[in-house]
């Protein structure tokens, strides 16, 4: 016999902060809402959790439905439950953040998203609901996380230069980094593999590198701590 709760139950949603890096600055993927509330306003991808799915399944489904993104790095961020955060009623949102390379994931709106587009963090439109707060929280998490986990490599192409890697860290941290110290620390890591390939250009071509995930995972099992 099904049980009936005597207390009202809030609705549950998921919202996804999708970060990207275009080589010049940190970006976030937004959708333009095609339905009320906030019709025509930019927002984070997301939606209501279905009764038969868990939270991560809901987040991945909403990402694919609204932006066509799939098989991306995804991590739970925080739960947002201010009683007045949604004009439709009592809605609690579990937020997630994803890290992707924008060139591999062009923006594409679908379902209740009339449009999707990449925006630089420094030039954002007004956002629906409390999504500006969610985005700020995700950015703070990312800035802390790249210091002790190599998640930044998710934002780069498979082959990259040390200059590109430094530009990524500077974009996320919002400040310049000493080039010599940064490279010295990175090159000491056994999972950053130099390749016999170089970028084009007649003057001082830069060596390409790749991130060896398997080697990193092996080092972690042995007690290795990543820190920059």
Beta partners for residue 12, in sequence order: 92
DSSP letter string over 36-61? Answer: SSSTT-EE-SEEEPPTTS-HHHHHHH
Find the catalytic residue in 115, 140, 154, 197: 115
CB atoms within 10 A of CB 74: 18
Residue 25 DSSP class? S
Residues 48/66, Cβ–Cβ less than 8 Å: no
User: Using CA atoms, how far apart are residues 66 and 196, in angstroms rounded to an integer?
Assistant: 40
d(CA 56, CA 64): 12
The answer to whether 115 is a known catalytic residue is: yes
Q: Which residues are catalytic?
A: 115
């Amino acid at each position: 016999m099904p049980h009936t709760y005597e207390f009202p139950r809030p609705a549950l949603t998921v919202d996804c902060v999708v970060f990207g890096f275009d080589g010049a600055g940190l970006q976030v993927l937004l959708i333009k809402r095609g339905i009320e509330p906030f019709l025509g306003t930019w927002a984070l991808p997301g939606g209501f959790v279905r009764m038969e799915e868990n939270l991560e399944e809901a987040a991945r489904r909403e990402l694919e439905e609204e932006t066509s993104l799939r098989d991306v790095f995804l991590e739970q961020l925080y739960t947002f439950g201010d009683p007045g955060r949604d004009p439709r009623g009592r809605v609690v949102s579990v937020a997630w953040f994803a890290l992707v390379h924008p060139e591999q994931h062009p923006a594409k709106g679908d379902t209740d998203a009339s449009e999707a587009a990449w925006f630089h963090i420094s030039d954002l439109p007004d956002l629906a609901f409390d999504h500006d707060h969610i985005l700020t929280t995700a950015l703070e998490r990312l800035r802390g996380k790249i210091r002790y986990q190599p998640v930044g490599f998710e934002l780069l192409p498979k082959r990259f230069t040390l200059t590109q890697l430094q530009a990524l860290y500077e974009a996320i941290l919002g400040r310049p980094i000493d080039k010599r110290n940064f490279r010295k620390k990175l090159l000491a890591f056994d999972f950053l593999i130099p390749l016999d390939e170089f970028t084009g250009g007649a003057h001082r071509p830069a060596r390409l590198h790749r991130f060896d995930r398997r080697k990193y995972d092996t080092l972690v099992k042995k007690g290795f701590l990543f820190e920059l």
